[in-house]
Structure formats: C-alpha cells, structure tokens
C-alpha cells in the first residue's frame, strides 16, 4: 500500500521533471541554434509585425494584420520542402533578393500600386495557407476576418538589442579579431565600404534610429547584417540546421532568450588602441581669455572604467573620439553646446563623470548614507582637487599656463606610451581604507533623550559602523572620495565636521516644526527617519515593529 502510494507520487514527479528539462533545455541553447522558443499560443511576443503596408496608398479599408514572423519562419523551416532546402534560401521563400541584398518587403522590391501590393499579400498568403490545408498540415487563416482582426490577440513587446562587452567578445573572437567584418566606413565618392583599423565607431554614428535610406536606418542595417551573417555562416548549401546565431525575432528581442546567452566571465579589453590612462584635456586651440582653462587637468583611468561599463557608447555616445572634440570649453554645435564643464559634471546624466558616480551611490551599500545628501548638492570646493589633481612637484616651480602646456604635451605622450603624467598622478592617489580604530569608535550609544512610552535604545554604534565599512570594502570610488577618516562618520552625523567626535543628533535637532527652521526635523523625527530610512534603503528587514529597538515602558 505504502509503495503504491509512493509510486503514485514519483511517477508524476518524474514526468514533471522531464517536462521541465525538455522545456528548459531548448531555451538554454535557443540563442545559439536559431530555434525560436515561441509557440503559436504565446500572446506577448517580440515577433509581431503589423502589416499595414497599404497605408502609403491612403486610409486602410480593413484592420491591419498582426503577422507572427517567428511562427512563419519556423513553419518554413519545418515544412517537408524546407527540411531539404539550404538554410540561406529560407528567407527567399518570402523575400526577394538582388545580388545577395535581401528586400525585407514581402515578395516584392518596392510598393508599386495599391492593387498590386494588395494582390501580392492576398495571393501569396492565401495560396500557401490553402496548399497546407490540402496537405492536412496545420495552417493559418483562410477567411478575411481571421487576418484582419480589429482586436489582435497578440501584443508586441521587444527588448532593444545591443552588444554588451560579452557579446562583442563572442563575435570578435569568432571572427579572429577581424573588426572589418562588421565595422566599416562609407566612402561617399567611391560609394564603397572600407575599414580602417583603430578607427572603429559604433554603428549608431551613421545608422540612425529614424527611417533613412542612405545610410540605411539602424533597424535595417542591423537586421540585414546580423541575420545575413548568421545565415551565411551556416554550413553552406547543406540542408543542415546548424545556425550560428539567431535568425528569429525572439533570438535577439525576447528578454528570456537574450538573458540566457552565456556571459563570458573573463573578458579581454576591446582592442582599439585606447589608452590605459589619459589626461582629460580642454581641446581648444585658440581660446579667448574668457574661456581659457583655469583648472588642473583631470587624469583619467580609462582602463579601469572599461570594466565598469558594458559598451563604449555608455560614455562615448555613438562616435568614439575624445570628449573635447565636441565638448569644448566654450561649447560647440557638434557637442550640442554642452560645454566641457557640463559634460563632465552634469548630475543625472550617466555620461558625465559626476552623474555616473552619483548613480554608483544608489547601490545598496552606499545609498543608506547618500540618500540623505540630496540630489542637488552644490560643488564642494574642497572636493574639486580630488579629480583636478595638482602635481606637487610641478607646483611652485612653473606658472599655471606652463603647467597646462606641460600637461597637454604629457597627454599626447600619454596616448602613445600610457606612461604620462596621468599615470603618475593616478598612482599617487591615496586610498583611505579605514576609519578610526575600534577604541576610538564608541561601542554602544544609549539614546535616552526621548524616553516616554518606550524605554531607552541601546544603539550598537560600532557594529553599524563596521557593517557599513564592510559594504564599501574594496570599492575604489568610495575609498578615494571618503578622503578623511571622519568622512565616513558624516554619513549619519551629517553637517558635522569630519572629526573623531562629531556632533550628536540632539545638538541640532530639538522640538519639531520650528517656524524659523522649517526643514529641520525634530529629534524624534530625525532619529526614526535616519534609522528606518537607512534600513529600508539598504534592504535590512529589521526592525519589524517598535519593540525591536526599544522595549515598551511598563506603567
């Protein structure tokens, strides 16, 4: 009896496991073998193409047709004829091509007349559906209203596709670092594509988002190049199904499929002759007195920052060149009049140094303190020199202008050698790894200023300091900018000078709702806001209730 029962449980269990395995396995490799994991029943999908081609001829008579591209590609591949057809001819079933250049319109090269385009769709779609019906294969709609639906069953959703470093490496590695396979420049006179090594830009520098013809839009360019290459790299002329890379919509635009692409763990640097370290120069050659640079140049560790960003365009926009080519001191049309100062300091922009560094402060380990500092801080003048570093050796011996000239020369040299003043300055930076010693940090603080309904709180002060410090251990950004032993204390003891004995909460916070100091919370508010907000932001689940911190007073 017992055994029987056990069997009853295990058999469906095993079946379930098998189902899971069979369901997940194709998914895991989906990105690579070009099989779409979408089925006809999926309603939220990335392969919905709304056929409204007739729009160019005036108002539509019937509702546009939601066309499921992956379903049709898979149908073509799986059909008896499709199985014997060379893979690169698969697209040719629906798309015409000239000299290998595929037209992405359905069995036509251009939209000629209303009647002709309409007939292309009706004749070809219906013919194929009917043929399959005769063969008693699963097929698509055969009546008008089944295609021209007013309320489509499917909704279109698509994740934008882009190369991260890992995906870029997978491609560059597969092509033995032949960058010219994808990267090219267009010579408008010779009307040819060429490739200059070391001058590669991102695709978006020429191929724009909006629909264009010459150069073609980003959408057309990427579909043409990516899918074209994926098809080409299959076993030529063989009917085999080994596809190197996705040819389905879902292969690139489905969240699940995209995130299942294996990430390369140890990535070598992208090879584009970029410097390890560089001085961020002003770039202006003939600047008038008003716009002359008065700041020390900033040494920039390019190599380290490559680790933090997924793509070059995260900082460089589409075209990869020095920031000061467009962002000059004065601002230029090329740089949309965002001058160098703004480009480097604009809060809220991830392309500016400051914006990106502030974004880092939103991480769980940092936000507990940084959330209270506010997003509108003025420049702290003491902090300028953290980036605008002055070499002590040079200072005093040369005028500031000479220093700039020297730095400029150094920066040029830097590009070649990676051993310029930038590298020297960067290595001279001091990282603060610790705050005060344990003996200097009070172990507990008894908060008894407000004892009324609840007993006093014994605040584990040192434990909190230690755990906050652990959070930023090894974080160079934090270690460099928390420049003073006491900086760390200022996270909670805000507005206090960075000293060993910072001001206590009650020194500033008192009775609430003071008319003369509208924005300062009272003492009770200050305690609770600071503690609870920090716990919430740092995802610390306790305290769950009032008595987790202070005992209820017995009356």
Partner 1 sequence: MSITRRKFIEWMGLAGAGTALGPLQAQGASSAAFKGYPDSFGVLHDITACVGCRSCEDACNRINVLPSPDRPFDDAGVFGEKRRPTTKAYTVVNRYERREKGVSDSGGHLGSPFFRKIQCNHCLEPACASVCFVKAFEKTAKGPVVYDPTVCVGCRYCMVACPFEIPSYEYEEAYTPSVVKCTMCSHRVEKGELPGCVEACPTEALIFGERKNLLKIAREKIRKHPHRYLNHIYGEKEMGGTSWMYLSGVPFSEVGLREDLGETPAPAMTSGALGVIPMVVGLWPVFLAGMYGMNRRREKIAQEEKTRAVAHALDRAQTQENPSTAKDTRSRNIGGKK
Q: Which residues bind partner 1 (CB under 8 A)?
A: 362-364, 367, 374-376, 512-513, 515, 518-519, 521-522, 524-526, 528-529, 532-533, 536-539, 545-546
Taking the C-alpha atoms of residue 451 and residue 453, their distance in angstroms, rounded to an integer, is 7
What DSSP letter does each residue of 114-147 carry, written as one string?
HHHHHHHHHHHHHHHHHHHHHTT------SHHHH
Taking the C-alpha atoms of residue 214 and residue 446, their distance in angstroms, rounded to an integer, is 72
CB-nearer residue toward partner 1: 44 or 532: 532
**Cα pseudo-dihedral 222, 226, 227, 228, rounded to 10:** 100
Tokens of 121: 């769709």
Min CB(514)–partner 1 separation in Å: 9
Min CB(105)–partner 1 separation in Å: 37
Tokens of 496: 């206090």
Min CB(532)–partner 1 separation in Å: 6
Taking the C-alpha atoms of residue 497 and residue 495, their distance in angstroms, rounded to an integer, is 7
CB-nearer residue toward partner 1: 343 or 367: 367
CB-nearer residue toward partner 1: 7 or 536: 536
For residue 192, the SS3 value is strand
CB-nearer residue toward partner 1: 396 or 545: 545
H or E segment at 458?
strand 457-459
Burial class (CB in 10 A: 0-12, 13-18, 19+), 458: middle
Taking the C-alpha atoms of residue 462 and residue 406, their distance in angstroms, rounded to an integer, is 48
Min CB(521)–partner 1 separation in Å: 5
Taking the C-alpha atoms of residue 267 and residue 259, their distance in angstroms, rounded to an integer, is 18
Taking the C-alpha atoms of residue 391 and residue 20, their distance in angstroms, rounded to an integer, is 62
Min CB(537)–partner 1 separation in Å: 5
CB-nearer residue toward partner 1: 243 or 478: 478
CB-nearer residue toward partner 1: 110 or 515: 515
Taking the C-alpha atoms of residue 475 and residue 473, their distance in angstroms, rounded to an integer, is 5
Min CB(362)–partner 1 separation in Å: 5
Min CB(255)–partner 1 separation in Å: 14
Taking the C-alpha atoms of residue 323 and residue 311, their distance in angstroms, rounded to an integer, is 16
Min CB(447)–partner 1 separation in Å: 13
What DSSP letter does each residue of 25-45 carry, written as one string?
HHHHHHHHH------TT-SEE
Min CB(304)–partner 1 separation in Å: 18
- Catalogue the E-assigned strands of 136-245: 155-156, 185-187, 192-194
Min CB(88)–partner 1 separation in Å: 40
CB-nearer residue toward partner 1: 56 or 518: 518
CB-nearer residue toward partner 1: 490 or 530: 530
Min CB(527)–partner 1 separation in Å: 8
CB-nearer residue toward partner 1: 98 or 452: 452
Nearest residue to 410 (alpha-carbon basis) of 421, 395, 394, 398: 421
Tokens of 113: 């007349």
Min CB(472)–partner 1 separation in Å: 14
Alpha-carbon distance values, 466 to 161, 333, 534 (Å): 42, 50, 15
The two beta strands, 97-98 and 101-102, are antiparallel
CB-nearer residue toward partner 1: 236 or 518: 518
CB-nearer residue toward partner 1: 384 or 532: 532
For residue 51, the SS3 value is strand
- Asked if 36 and 250 count as a contact pair (C-beta separation under 8 A), the reply is yes
CB-nearer residue toward partner 1: 143 or 541: 541
- Asked if 226 and 31 count as a contact pair (C-beta separation under 8 A), the reply is no
State the Cα angle at 250 between 244 and 255, rounded to 5°: 110
């Amino acid at each position: 009896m017992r055994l029987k029962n056990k069997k009853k449980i295990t058999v469906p269990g095993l079946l379930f496991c098998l189902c899971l395995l069979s369901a997940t396995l194709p998914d895991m490799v989906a990105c690579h073998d070009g099989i779409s994991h979408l089925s006809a029943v999926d309603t939220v999908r990335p392969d919905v193409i709304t056929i409204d081609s007739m729009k160019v001829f005036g108002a539509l008579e019937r509702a546009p047709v939601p066309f499921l591209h992956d379903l049709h590609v898979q149908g073509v591949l799986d059909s008896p004829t499709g199985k014997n057809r060379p893979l690169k001819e698969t697209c040719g079933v629906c798309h015409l091509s000239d000299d290998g250049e595929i037209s992405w319109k359905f069995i036509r090269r251009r939209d000629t007349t209303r009647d002709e385009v309409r007939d292309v769709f009706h004749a070809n779609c219906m013919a194929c559906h009917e043929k399959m019906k005769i063969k008693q294969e699963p097929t698509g709609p055969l009546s008008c209203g089944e295609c021209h639906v007013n309320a489509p069953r499917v909704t279109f959703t698509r994740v934008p596709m882009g190369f991260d470093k890992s995906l870029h490496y997978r491609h560059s590695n597969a092509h033995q670092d032949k960058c010219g396979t994808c990267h090219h420049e267009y010579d408008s006179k010779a009307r040819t594509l060429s490739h200059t090594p070391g001058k590669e830009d991102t695709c978006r520098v020429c191929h724009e988002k909006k629909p264009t013809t010459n150069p073609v839009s980003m959408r057309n360019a990427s579909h043409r190049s990516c899918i074209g290459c994926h098809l080409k790299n299959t076993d030529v002329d063989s009917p085999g199904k080994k596809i190197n890379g996705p040819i389905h919509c879902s292969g690139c635009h489905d969240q699940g499929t995209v995130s299942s692409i294996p990430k390369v763990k140890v990535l070598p640097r992208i090879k584009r002759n970029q410097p390890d370290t560089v001085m961020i120069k002003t770039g202006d050659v003939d600047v008038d007195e008003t716009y002359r640079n008065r700041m020390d140049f900033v040494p920039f560790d390019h190599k380290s920052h490559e680790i933090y960003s997924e793509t070059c365009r995260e900082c460089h926009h589409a075209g990869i060149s020095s920031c000061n080519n467009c962002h000059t001191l004065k601002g230029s049309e090329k740089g949309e009049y965002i001058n160098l100062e703004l480009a480097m300091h604009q809060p809220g922009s991830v392309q500016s140094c400051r914006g990106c560094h502030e974004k880092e402060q939103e991480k769980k380990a940092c936000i507990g303190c940084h959330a209270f500092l506010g997003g509108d801080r003025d420049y702290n003048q003491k902090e300028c020199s953290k980036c605008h570093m002055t070499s002590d050796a040079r200072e005093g011996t040369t005028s500031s202008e000479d220093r700039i000239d020297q730095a400029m020369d150094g920066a040029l040299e830097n590009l070649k050698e990676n051993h310029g003043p930038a590298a020297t300055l960067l290595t001279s930076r001091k990282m603060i790894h610790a705050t005060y010693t344990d003996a200097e940090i009070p172990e507990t603080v008894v908060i008894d200023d407000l004892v009324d309904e609840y007993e006093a709180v014994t605040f584990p002060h040192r434990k909190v300091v230690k755990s906050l410090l652990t959070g930023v251990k090894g974080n160079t950004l934090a270690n460099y900018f928390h420049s003073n032993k006491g900086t760390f204390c200022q996270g909670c003891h805000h507005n206090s000078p960075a000293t060993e004995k910072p001001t206590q909460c009650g020194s500033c916070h008192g009775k609430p709702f003071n008319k003369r100091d509208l924005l300062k919370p009272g003492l009770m508010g200050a305690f609770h806001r600071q503690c609870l907000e920090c716990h919430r932001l740092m995802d610390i689940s306790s305290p769950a209730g009032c008595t987790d911190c202070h005992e209820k007073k017995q009356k």
